[in-house]
Amino acid sequence: MRRDRLVGKSLLTLDQCLGLDNAAAMELYSQHLNKYMLQVFDILGLRDIDIASAQGAEITLTDGRKILDFSGGFGVLGLGHNHPRIIAAERRCHDEHVIDCIKIAPHKLQGALAYNISRMLPEPLDVSFLAVSGAEANEAAMKLAERVQTPKGKTKFLCMRGAFHGKTHGALSLTTATDVQTGFLLGVPKENMIYAEFGNIESVREAIQRETQAKGNRIIAGIVETIRGTSCETPPPGYLEEFVRICREADILTIFDEIKVGMGRTGQFCAFQHSEAVPDIVTMGKTLGGGKREMAAMVTSQALWDNAYGSKNDCNLHSSSFSGMGESCAVAIETLNILEGERLIERAGRIGEHLKAGLARLRIKYPHTIVELRGKGCFQAVRLNFGEELAAKLVDIRKNPVFVTYQTVLIGALTRELFERHSILAHFQPGAREVLHFMPPYIVDEAQVDRLVDALDDVLGRGIADATVRFVAKNIKRIFG
């Protein structure tokens, strides 16, 4: 008999799931989720991290060990773990039986959230589409731009080489930070993509010029990360303003992707607000959900919205089943009020300056290892010069594809040392394996920042060779097995 037709399928109860020991939980993860991702966690020493709870910037393990989380859910945890006001907002929704889902009538919290978002942005960014992920928000931005521009015969998108905008079919077409396109039919074919170099405005001009003919160009929109999420690179002063100006002169819509760096992380609500530039469309997410809810948004002007969807027949051409769920909207509303009322955006800027000062001291102390400081506010990174010949003496990656590059061995060793020796979580991205990222919540204090800097000092002081030897030893079966 087929398994799905058996009576009494022995489903796990919630009590049983919360009570699983780590070994049993990881066995279920391996069998029914993604055993290969579990292998990656194992390499980094994180497979058996047995979490009891999390609060603020700290994760508490079942053995009582406290972990300082500078990975920040890759941008999700601007408010930290389990912010008390977010929990209170959820509890109020439960106590008052606030409706979550209604599709045949408007939900008052959706309009209220969209209003609050507009208050944080410059005019004319007044109209939102609510989504559940950054990739979905970017898809919404692309589709709106297409609706406006394809009647003019425009068929192409301008994006930056090495960008990351998501992994869904449309957003995937824009993502070249790492090789995530191979093996997929892209939502926007490659022949409809035009590339320029990030931070190089002349490259943008040249890309537009190449596509310009007597009747104009065929570019729908240009999309850019205001700070690169993978490499943590910041564009030069004036770049965003000039990007908007030359695109508008060429009748090209502008989309700023603020998914990872927006929501106050850089000391302004959106990173582009450090400049005078105002895009036609902006996307945001991650911290918008307060660290508890899946929430993102695409925001544009009323004029562009009307152009794309401005009739009763067209108003629902783009929608999503879980767009604007009641409790998610409530949490996002409270998140914006926390950012504003507790002045966490300004705090993110101040904490960022303290972090940058500490990292700058380490750069002076280790000039041959730390070659560049990157980022702004509570999204910063160090670009490292490991000297790959060191790893080559210790492991032959040609026989061990799990490591991909020598940089993977070295950055993996460094992050594992921070975790195992100092109980600190930091991270790196596959598209920039020489860059170590720090994304603390905005509520982190100076002493916790100092703890990170001291830990990095200790690991670098011991030497990359020491960290690499320990890393290789702990992965010996993968290297020689």
Backbone angles phi, psi at 298, to 5 degrees: -110, 130
Task: List 385's β-bridge partners, or say none.
Answer: none
Model pTM? 0.94
Q: From 78, 75, 247, 244, select the one nearest 166 (Cα to Cα).
A: 75
Separation of alpha carbons 386 and 371, rounded Å: 10
pLDDT at 481: 45
**Does domain 86-341 bear CATH number 3.40.640.10?**
yes
pLDDT at 408: 72
Q: Profile the chain (481 residues) by mean pLDDT over runs of 10 residues.
A: 76 94 94 92 89 97 97 97 98 98 96 98 98 97 98 97 95 92 92 97 97 93 97 97 98 98 98 98 98 97 98 95 96 98 98 98 95 97 77 50 61 91 94 92 98 97 74 59 45
The residue ranges of every structural domain in the chain are: 1-43, 45-75+344-480, 86-341
Assigned CATH class of 45-75+344-480:
alpha beta
The dihedral through the CA atoms of 385, 178, 163, 346 has a sign that is negative
CA 204 to chain centre: 24
Cβ 460 vs Cβ 366: under 8 Å = yes
pLDDT at 1: 66
Separation of alpha carbons 150 and 409, rounded Å: 46
Separation of alpha carbons 294 and 42, rounded Å: 27
pLDDT at 5: 73
CA angle 138, 75, 146 (to 5 degrees): 5
pLDDT at 433: 84
Cβ 419 vs Cβ 369: under 8 Å = no
Question: What are 81's two structure tokens?
Answer: 């773990």
pLDDT at 395: 52
Q: From 280, 276, 284, select the one nearest 303 (Cα to Cα).
A: 280
Helices (H) and strands (E) in the chain, counts: 17, 17
Question: What are 248's two structure tokens?
Answer: 């508008």
Separation of alpha carbons 143 and 202, rounded Å: 27
Query: 281-284 and 253-257: which strand pairing?
Result: parallel
pLDDT at 178: 87
